[in-house]
Copies of this chain bind each other. A is one copy, B any other.
Amino acid sequence: MKPDAVRGHLDGLILAVLEDGPRHGYAIIEALQARSGGRLDLPTGTVYPALRRLERAALLSGSWSTVGGRERRTYTLTRAGRHALAGQRADWTEFSTVVEAVLRPAAGMS
């Protein structure tokens, strides 16, 4: 999949992964891969800044911890984040409906 395609939808994808419970960045990237059947392989340079952005927007709260000698920043969905996720899901439904209505071949051409 061409990488740029997630543009505008990345936030929703990250929020959705965190709905299952807190995760750190690296684990979020792996969860995205797993859920997409390996088709979504986002570089760290995309995900980490996005997490910071979502934290600044108060949709996530992050906290440092040390696990096995390694620094981790674990992110948790805030209440606002949960609300934003619901909005993102609604946006996606509308968006995909619109795209399919336009993209689908014109009806009934023999």
Binding site for B on A (CB under 8 A): 1-2, 4-9, 12-13, 16-17, 19-20, 32, 35-37, 39-40, 88-89, 91-92, 94-96, 98-106
Contact of A92 among B94, B99, B106 (CB under 8 A): B99
Report how many copies the assembly holds.
2
B94 touches A1 (CB 8 A): yes
Q: Determine the main DSSP class of A at the interface with B.
A: helix
Q: Which residues of B contact A32 (CB under 8 A)?
A: 102
Contact of A5 among B8, B19, B102, B106 (CB under 8 A): B8
Contact of A35 among B40, B94, B101 (CB under 8 A): B101
B92 touches A13 (CB 8 A): no
